[in-house]
Structure 1
Amino acid sequence: MSILGFLFNCCEHDTTLPDASYQEEYDTLVKRGVRVFLFDLAQLEKKEPIVLPKTLEKIYLIYRGWMLSEEQYDTLYETLLEQKYQMVVDPYQYRECHYLDYWYTKLSRLTAKSVYSHGIPSDESILQMLSKFGNQPIIVKDYVKSRKHEWYESCFIEDASNTEDAMKIIHNFIERQGDKFSGGLVLREYLDINKNGVHFKNHLPVTEEVRIFCYKNDPICFISYWSGDMWQMDRAFLDIIDRCAVLESPFYTIDLARTNSGKWVLIEVGDGQISHLRGYDVGRFYDGFLSLLMRDYDLYM
């Protein structure tokens, strides 16, 4: 059976320790006797060589760490492959779940209407994009991220036909993203989502939303997006997961939200390696994940 381990970013100041944000996940796997490896993200950013311990047998890896650009992921994948380490999620599969222009074409019927550009569009192109929504409310993002914590300044447009206000919000978003702007501009229909309140700092709507981690289309866990608590399974979740079988990636997340009519809709797809647990119990997460991985891999030292 193939050997598998987990790959983490190391601490910025001590390459023998994991990044503090992933310390609990790293420790959880060590306690369970699972193979873990560290690499220095700073080396990847500087395009310096990444070197893992020499191995005679091929070892498959699942990454858990900070978001990587597609170029960084390509480099990491190829560099490790030369050392007999192979990422379970290949570069295409990483893009497929990380970038909206990949997953939206496959799952558009499950989610909000979206239009997007390639790169930063001209003002004329933005106006054409806005025209697709009439006077509907919309949200602004790029292929990967929104600025939802700047809800009224850089994210939410109440009326797409009010082009003066819309352009101001879109320009705010592009300027504030700066070099973190990813892929292209995305305008998405604002869905009538059931709200539990508003964020006390920025008035962002707190919606009824769940994050689901999946491995080979089997759910690992159901997480309340805002509290991190375990969410009770709903039959509708399984129906949506079944329809996500068109995704090639073996490890991904989907964020679902309930509309005021009671229907669950797809909000976002993410690569499982870089998706946040939102405060969910780390031990519970890995107990579920490892039980699925055991079907395919030798996990334990």
Structure 2
Amino acid sequence: MWTIGDDRDAFDQARAALGEGAAVLRDYTKSMKHYWHEAAYIPDLTDGAAAWRVAERMRELRDDDFTGGFVLRRFEPFTGAEARTWWVNGTCRLITAHPDTPDDLPPPGLPVAELAGAVAGLALPFVTVDVAQRADGVWRVIELGDGQVSDRPASTSPDAFVAALLA
């Protein structure tokens, strides 16, 4: 669920629409995951006051960089680190660790074919798609970006990275 702007009423409507349970908060372009417990994770959507404190802190930290509105997503526990996939003209060219966890290499058999149609449908020349696996084995898209902030993980050499993207 998402809002347009940072209005409390709109936030509460989005929160209520998700129902019970935990959620993760971000704006249209960025999360504050490095401030997980104070500005990203909402443990109980039914606690409006506590949820709003998280939203206010996220808004405060984003300051002038706050973009669009609040985005709330139901929290899902994952079994391992995120993987980053790199796409050129709708084709996956490279699968790497996520830059935040460069030593946690993605497992073999990551199901990029399942993403191909959706990524190609974006008709964008370059995107990254971060994915993670839940305990039940389902892979979930965490984030899709246009490359503006898509760091190369330290575990992938610059030569291998450039060669894969130019292939």
Instruction: Report the CA distance shift for 1:126/1:237 in structure 2 as closer, same or farther (over 3 A).
Output: same
Instruction: Report the CA distance shift for 1:273/1:129 in structure 2 as closer, same or farther (over 3 A).
Output: closer
SS in 1 for 2:67: coil
Measure how far apart 1:230 and its partner are: 5.4
Letter matched to residue 116 of structure 1: W
Letter matched to residue 216 of structure 1: N
Q: Does 1:255 align with 2:130?
A: yes
Measure how far apart 1:278 and its partner are: 2.2
Task: Give the TM-score normalised by the residue count of structure 2.
Answer: 0.90
SS in 2 for 1:116: coil
CA distance in 1 between partners of 2:76 and 2:95 (Å): 22
Give the corresponding residue for 1:216. 89
Give the corresponding residue for 1:116. 2
71, 91, 97: which one pairs with 1:186? 71
Measure how far apart 1:152 and its partner are: 0.5
Measure how far apart 1:235 and its partner are: 5.3
CA distance in 2 between partners of 1:242 and 1:143 (Å): 23
CA distance in 1 between partners of 2:57 and 2:105 (Å): 36
Paired residues of 1:137 and 1:156 also in contact (CA < 8 A): yes
144, 150, 159: which one pairs with 1:269? 144
Paired residues of 1:153 and 1:169 also in contact (CA < 8 A): yes
25, 29, 33: which one pairs with 1:148? 33
Paired residues of 2:81 and 2:104 also in contact (CA < 8 A): no
CA distance in 2 between partners of 1:215 and 1:228 (Å): 24
**1:120-139 equivalence runs, <5 A:** 120-121=6-7, 123-139=8-24
Instruction: Report the CA distance shift for 1:223/1:235 in structure 2 as closer, same or farther (over 3 A).
Output: closer
CA distance in 1 between partners of 2:11 and 2:67 (Å): 16
For the aligned residues, what is the CA RMSD? Answer: 1.7
Letter matched to residue 172 of structure 1: R
Q: Which runs of 5+ in 1 are unaligned?
A: 1-114, 195-206, 292-301
Paired residues of 2:91 and 2:120 also in contact (CA < 8 A): no
Give the corresponding residue for 2:116. 241
Measure how far apart 1:281 and its partner are: 1.4
Q: Does 1:281 align with 2:167?
A: no
Q: Which has the larger radius of gyration?
A: 1
Report how many aligned residue pairs link the two structures.
Answer: 164
Paired residues of 1:139 and 1:190 also in contact (CA < 8 A): yes
Q: Which runs of 5+ in 2 are unaligned?
A: none
Letter matched to residue 50 of structure 2: D
28, 51, 61: which one pairs with 1:166? 51
Percent same amino acid among aligned pairs? 26
Letter matched to residue 281 of structure 1: S
Task: Give the TM-score normalised by the residue count of structure 1.
Answer: 0.52
CA distance in 1 between partners of 2:31 and 2:115 (Å): 23
